Amino acid sequence: MVAAEQFSAPIAGLGEGAFWDDQTGRFMMVDLLQGDILTLDDSGVPTRSHVDTITAVLRRRASGGFIVGVERGIRFLTDDLDLVGGVSTAFDTKGLRMNDGGCDPQGRFYVGSLAYSGEREAATLYRFDVDQAFTPVLGPVSTSNGIQWGADGTRAFYNDTPTGRVAVFDFDTSDGTFHDQRDFVVLPDGVGLPDGMAIDAEDGIWVALWGGSAVHRYDSSGRLSEVIDLPASKVTCPTFGGPDKRTLYVTTASLDVPDEPAAGAVFRAEVGVTGAPVYAYAG
């Protein structure tokens, strides 16, 4: 069992998109339904930057600034989080919005959707290539969430939350396609559902459990090896940060849990293993 400490006050309705920015040495996240990016100082105090109606996930751009998932596509931001240009739109369907995502080792950006209504199998995982074109790569899915790549880049791990499973795919590094889906972890009933995900240098995956008040680590064979219990039930997204990348930062949500005083706070834990690289968008 790994102990966690509360790093911030309750600061988010739907805290998501946990991200450690190496360039500034700061933890960043989104308050998804507010459309805001939050940048936290060393004391956990946030500065808010409004981006769009929805702000789902962010990563660095290799050319400078950030790439951000918004309601129906992506936007680019400067280093100072000012908007650059308009929205690159993946879909025009009403009732859907973007959710979690990340970049593969080749610098392609992936972001997936969900239905506001909770409808199953109405969503898609998209790839946004360096030529700034969207391509659907997985679907139908229900609630597209955490995605990570193993150290050698040939396996991709993916959470479609309502399935209660962490899937693993063979990943074609040449074209960014996913093949041979199978179960990596099947979560037992009652422990929560898989939300965001981080990966460490030993190919251990750290899975936030929505409704489960915890983060679970599964080793490279899929065995449960660590548990971080949290005083908030809606645990959303972990990421590694700190100077040595051995601190796990975890976001939570305060939606519909008025009896949880710490819900919506950020937590952190010293986990004794180094986080794997978080890749930038190459476009």
**How are beta strands 46-50 and 55-60 bridged, if at all?**
unpaired
C-alpha span between 247 and 28 (Å, rounded): 14
Count other Cβ atoms within 10 Å, centred on residue 237: 29
What pLDDT, in 10s, does the model give residues 73-101?
Answer: 999 999 999 999 999 999 999 999 999 99
What pLDDT, in 10s, does the model give residues 150-201?
Answer: 999 999 999 999 999 999 999 999 999 999 999 999 999 999 999 999 999 9
Going 211 to 212 to 215 to 220, the CA torsion angle's sign is negative
Residue labelled with tokens 């690289």: 277
The pLDDT of residue 231 is 98
Residues 6+ apart with CB under 8 A from 225: 204, 217, 218, 219
Residue 129 CB-density burial (10 A; 0-12 exposed, 13-18 middle, 19+ buried): middle
| 5-270 fold | Neuraminidase (2.120.10)
What pLDDT, in 10s, does the model give residues 169-182?
Answer: 999 999 999 999 99
C-alpha span between 195 and 114 (Å, rounded): 13
The pLDDT of residue 80 is 98
Going 45 to 50 to 52 to 53, the CA torsion angle's sign is positive
- Residue ranges of domains in the chain: 5-270
Residues 6+ apart with CB under 8 A from 182: 167, 168, 169
Residue labelled with tokens 């979560």: 187
234 close to 253: Cβ distance less than 8 angstroms? yes
Q: Per-residue pLDDT averaged across 21-40, rounded?
A: 98
pTM of the model: 0.98
Closest CA to 250 of 7, 3, 2: 7
Closest CA to 220 of 125, 155, 171: 155
Q: Per-residue pLDDT averaged across 210-221, rounded?
A: 98
Q: How big is the chain, counted in residues?
A: 283
C-alpha span between 23 and 50 (Å, rounded): 21
pLDDT at position 244 over 90:
yes
Element (H, E) at 73: strand 73-77
Confidence of residue 1 (pLDDT cuts 50, 70, 90): confident
